[in-house]
Structure 1
Amino acid sequence: MIQDSTYFLPGNRNGVLLIHGLTGTPTEMRILAKGLNAAGFTVYGMQLAGHCGNEEDLCKTTWQDWYQSVEQAADFLATKVDNLFVAGLSMGAVLSLKLAADRPEQIKGVGVYGVTFFYDGWSIPFWAKHSFFLLGWLKKLNLFQKMLFNEQPPYGLKDERIRATVSESMIGGDSAAAGLAGNPLPALAEMQYLVKHVKPLLSQIYVPCLIMHSTDDDIANINTNAGFVQQSIKGRSKLVKLDESYHLITIDRERRTVINETIEFFNDVINGLDNVEDRGHG
């Protein structure tokens, strides 16, 4: 049964919508949420459709369902704030970029954390790196749809203490706290469909983007993912490289850096918006 793991932290009239990753949970964004809220931001940690349940729950949904839940969350948060930002981890970053492309007037800036367009990190087996493109065809042909791509150590975490806690919850079946232990092939196929859809949209993004990525990402290589985004978008961007984390940078060793960089970047955007308004009234 799917559990509701969303959270809303009220603050000022500047809001941040946080989007977790595929098979993940809003919990992986909670530390960042608390940091942003302590700095004054209103924060909504949303839950993607089909998540925080079991593999069957997830496989009933498509990427369009995931994105629809993002749009609904953005609509909700927009009623509470004047300036709306969005930030996501892994697949959540891909969804964040789509929202920025689709809503250029509404979204003021984007936090892009461990963005995953390609599963090509050092922990991904060679055969998997070169077969992900087949997933869409397998789903259309209804082949191997009960298979799972199981998460392997280090589970995106360099910090061994946090890794032990997360893996215990994950393997123990607490998907609301730590996400699923495996990626169902149908969900990975939907992820491929999403990536194919979003890639051409990157050139339509003109809002400022903070791109943060580990140089040692075990899931998504920094050059082909973060570098790809920075080269493709048209707006101002800042790339922050992290050397002491793996994929889940919002909860790994440099989580405080993620918080501080995000606060500084979004506040700079807000100050720029304020200056524009001041000039408009002058």
Structure 2
Amino acid sequence: MNNNVERTIFNEGDGHAVLMLHGLSSSPLEMRYLARFLNKEGFTTCAPVLDGYSAGTREQAMEHWLDAATREYDALAARYERVSICGLSIGAALALALVHRRPQAQAVALLSLTLAYDGWAIPWYRFLLNLAYYSPMRFRYRYRESTPYGLRNEALRAKIARAMQRDDLSEVGPSTISLPALHQANRLAAHVRARTRLIRNDCLIVHAIDDETSSPHNARNVADSIGSAVLRTIWLDDSYHMITSDNEREIVARETALFLRDSEMASRTGHAGGQPVASKALTRRLRQLAAVGKKSA
């Protein structure tokens, strides 16, 4: 494994810091492009290694993940005027848990939010892994990632497939995930579902309509239940799960930067803006699904 993947990414910018939480058992590399883009837009960005959560650290319970993320948030809050939180996949669930614990956060950005592994590429036996956790398999079995590796971009997918064969970790995540880690992710999801309606922070949700790992239900359910007065939802139609690396990563980065600045300006001026956004891609897909439903009826 390349030791570089285990290092915190930190880019000094202005007084608005963004704490960036990568996916389960992975590394800050997943956030590298977005961190650089936001820094070029003036933000201070920090994508840390979290003890007990990130690759290369000893696995811990989800309460330990949240404590580690809280320490990172508090360290940034002590230095910068504003701190927003951005999470990817299970990292987005962790971001929701953190913003509930630290409601003074400026805003929260949820990228490919995962509260349930229910995408089209998840194997039918996935639910059995929850039961396997309580069996002797708990310490032996590891869930292996497979094609498409969260990527619609075929060239990048081929590159990642080769990296997965050589190493335990790539820029889009680990090659395998342990049963204990998946069990703790399920516990985190339940923790977040019970608290989402209490969250009032400005919220951005970005999700691919063809996400193979977490279906759009994850994003829609949170959008429907979160207590945010300012909510912006962006739907992508040319990406899979790893939207910080896939075909529309520039859109993700640009929309995230725009949202965070809008949130900052709104709080300064006292003007709440930012209407929900439903993309044409989603509207088109929903019409297609409706048409198929009518034919099947």
Match of 2:13 in 1: 11
CA distance in 1, matches of 2:194, 2:107: 19
Match of 2:76 in 1: 77
* Stretch of structure 1 that moved more, 74-83 or 160-169: 160-169
Match of 1:99 in 2: 98
Shift of 1:49: 2.1
Shift of 1:179: 3.3
Instruction: Pick the aligned partner of 1:227 from 193, 200, 220.
Output: 220
Match of 2:120 in 1: 122
* Stretch of structure 1 that moved more, 137-146 or 150-159: 137-146
Q: Which amino acid aligns with 1:35?
A: F
Shift of 1:218: 0.6
Residue 213 of structure 2 aligns to a residue in which SS? Answer: coil
Match of 2:285 in 1: none
Shift of 1:162: 1.7
Match of 1:160 in 2: 154
CA distance in 1, matches of 2:132, 2:191: 18
CA distance in 2, matches of 1:70, 1:249: 22
* Stretch of structure 1 that moved more, 140-149 or 20-29: 140-149
| Alignment CA distance shift 1:247-1:21 (3 Å) | same
Match of 1:191 in 2: 185
Question: Do the aligned residues in 2 keep the contact of 1:169 with 1:178 (CA within 8 Å)?
Answer: no
| Alignment CA distance shift 1:66-1:101 (3 Å) | same
Instruction: Pick the aligned partner of 1:266 from 257, 260, 276.
Output: 260
Percent identity reads: 34
Aligned length: 267
Question: Do the aligned residues in 2 keep the contact of 1:110 with 1:208 (CA within 8 Å)?
Answer: yes
Shift of 1:76: 1.8
Please tell me whether residue 255 in structure 1 is matched to residue 255 in structure 2: no
Question: Do the aligned residues in 1 keep the contact of 2:168 with 2:175 (CA within 8 Å)?
Answer: no
CA distance in 2, matches of 1:243, 1:27: 24
TM-align CA RMSD: 1.9
Please tell me whether residue 131 in structure 1 is matched to residue 128 in structure 2: yes
Question: Do the aligned residues in 2 keep the contact of 1:12 with 1:40 (CA within 8 Å)?
Answer: yes
Question: Do the aligned residues in 2 keep the contact of 1:16 with 1:87 (CA within 8 Å)?
Answer: yes
Shift of 1:148: 1.1
Match of 1:88 in 2: 87
Q: Which amino acid aligns with 2:121?
A: S
Can you give the 5+ residue segments of structure 2 that lack an aligned partner in the other structure? 272-297
Match of 2:286 in 1: none
Residue 122 of structure 2 aligns to a residue in which SS? Answer: coil
Question: Do the aligned residues in 1 keep the contact of 2:196 with 2:226 (CA within 8 Å)?
Answer: yes
* Stretch of structure 1 that moved more, 28-37 or 2-11: 2-11
Instruction: Pick the aligned partner of 2:41 from 35, 39, 42.
Output: 39
Q: Which amino acid aligns with 1:103?
A: R
Deviations 1:205-224 (A, max 9, x none): 001110000000010001x2
Deviations 1:221-241 (A, max 9, x none): 01x200011011010211100
Deviations 1:52-103 (A, max 9, x none): 32xxx55x32212222221111112212310110000000000001111111
Match of 2:50 in 1: 48
Can you give the 5+ residue segments of structure 1 that lack an aligned partner in the other structure? 278-282
Instruction: Pick the aligned partner of 1:275 from 269, 280, 284.
Output: 269
Shift of 1:142: 4.8
Match of 1:171 in 2: 165
| Alignment CA distance shift 1:148-1:258 (3 Å) | same
CA distance in 2, matches of 1:171, 1:65: 30
Q: Which amino acid aligns with 2:63?
A: Q
User: TM-score of the superposition, structure 2-length normalised?
Assistant: 0.85
Structure number with the bigger relative contact order (C-alpha 8 A, sep ≥ 6) is 1
